[in-house]
Amino acid sequence: MTRLDKLVSMGSGLSRTEAKKAIRQGRVTVCGRKVSDPDMKVGEQAGIGLDGAALKVPEYVYIMMDKPEGVLSATEDKSQQTVLDLLPEIYKKRDLGVAGRLDKDTTGLLLITDDGSLNHRLTSPKSKAGKLYKAYLDMPADQSDKEAFACGMQLSDFIAAPAVLEINESDPRECLVTISEGKYHQIKRMFAKRGKTVVSLRRLACAGLYMDPELGSGGFRELTDEEIAGLFDKCGLKATKKISKNC
Ligand code: URA
């Protein structure tokens, strides 16, 4: 159960103060009945109306973003732009988090959600959700790199689990890497161990979810129900209802 003013704010983009005012003015209905108490507790599945139109208040939101270079994978920062700064106000009323951070200079698939269970499953050290990256190196990768990645690799503080390295035959500086963990700077550190520097890095997929090529740098959209179900399935979570239903 959630406070009505919070749900109205989440579903309409109004500030909490504006939502309270709208409720007190009798502009809000719950299950078709006019209400006036902003503090009233309402189930996420209750049908809420504002000025006669049904509000969609998803319990959780799941956003895919094509993270641009130079933006932090954080929810707030005093001096630098974060991925949340790229989202419209309506999402900022939620307790959003980034499921699997990318370095400031890494681009590509970023999942942003307020669903703590999914976030936890995707980012926990035990998570085996595969992540696919495209890396461009300062020098060509070769068969010995492939074998080293496949064997797992001792880094300064942990042993990286076996990873799959695919090398582009026509440009061996370009590689696809699939890892099952998400440790800090993992890809860059694995290549560094092989004496190679990652010049650019882009995440293409995570837990079976592929970057939507239509988004473009800095673009975002909510996941489809099928995409959410796919992620839940990969993480061993039960699917829940995404959108509030009318009474
Ligand atoms: N590995 C890295 O080195 N950096 C990232 O941003 C993601 C994976």
Q: Say how far apart CA 92 and CA 199 lie, in whole Å.
A: 33
Same domain assignment for residues 156 and 45: no
Q: Summarize the confidence of residues 91-111 as an average pLDDT.
A: 94
- In angstroms, what is the span from residue 15 Cα to ligand 1's centroid? 36
For the cut 80, the answer to whether the pLDDT of residue 186 exceeds it is yes
Tell me the CA end-to-end span of the chain in Å, nearest whole number. 15
Q: Residue 198: exposed, middle, or buried by beta-carbon count in 10 A (0-12, 13-18, 19+)?
A: buried
173 lines ligand 1 (CB under 6 A): no
Q: Summarize the confidence of residues 220-238 as an average pLDDT.
A: 91
Rounded to two decimals, the pTM is 0.87
14 lines ligand 1 (CB under 6 A): no
pLDDT at 239: 67
Same domain assignment for residues 150 and 199: yes
Q: Say how far apart CA 145 and CA 141 lie, in whole Å.
A: 6
Q: Summarize the confidence of residues 16-44 as an average pLDDT.
A: 92
Output the residue whose Cα is nearest ligand 1's atom 3: 185
The tally of domains found in the chain comes to 3
For the cut 80, the answer to whether the pLDDT of residue 26 exceeds it is yes
- In angstroms, what is the span from residue 31 Cα to ligand 1's centroid? 47
| Active site (annotated) includes residue 37 | no
For the cut 50, the answer to whether the pLDDT of residue 79 exceeds it is yes
pLDDT at 58: 82
Q: Which among 245, 237, 111 is positioned nearest to 182, based on CA atoms?
A: 111
pLDDT at 244: 43
Same domain assignment for residues 99 and 145: no
102 lines ligand 1 (CB under 6 A): yes
Choosing from 103, 171, 212, 225, the catalytic residue is 103
Domain boundary residue, one of 13, 28, 54: 54
Q: Residue 121: exposed, middle, or buried by beta-carbon count in 10 A (0-12, 13-18, 19+)?
A: buried
CATH number for position 88? 3.30.70.580
134 lines ligand 1 (CB under 6 A): no
Q: Say how far apart CA 4 and CA 25 lie, in whole Å.
A: 14
Q: Summarize the confidence of residues 216-240 as an average pLDDT.
A: 90
Is the residue at 247 inside a domain? no
Find the range with the poorest average confidence among 16-20, 57-61, 72-76, 239-243: 239-243
Same domain assignment for residues 198 and 157: yes
Is the residue at 185 inside a domain? yes
188 lines ligand 1 (CB under 6 A): yes
For the cut 60, the answer to whether the pLDDT of residue 87 exceeds it is yes
Q: Say how far apart CA 21 and CA 36 lie, in whole Å.
A: 9
CATH number for position 46? 3.10.290.10
Q: What is the mean pLDDT of the chain?
A: 92
pLDDT at 240: 59
Overall residue count recorded for the chain in this entry: 247
177 lines ligand 1 (CB under 6 A): no
CATH number for position 184? 3.30.70.1560
Of 134, 185, 191, 193, the residue with max ligand 1 atoms within 8 A of its CB, to mutate for a pocket test, comes to 185
Is the residue at 168 inside a domain? yes
Digit-coded pLDDT (tens) for 14-24: 888 999 999 99
For the cut 90, the answer to whether the pLDDT of residue 43 exceeds it is no
Of 83, 201, 203, 204, the residue with max ligand 1 atoms within 8 A of its CB, to mutate for a pocket test, comes to 201
Digit-coded pLDDT (tens) for 121-164: 998 877 778 999 999 999 999 999 999 999 999 998 889 999 99
Is the residue at 245 inside a domain? no
pLDDT at 245: 45
- Domain that includes residue 75, residue range: 62-125+214-235
- In angstroms, what is the span from residue 232 Cα to ligand 1's centroid? 23
Residues 6+ apart with CB under 8 A from 120: none
pLDDT at 46: 79
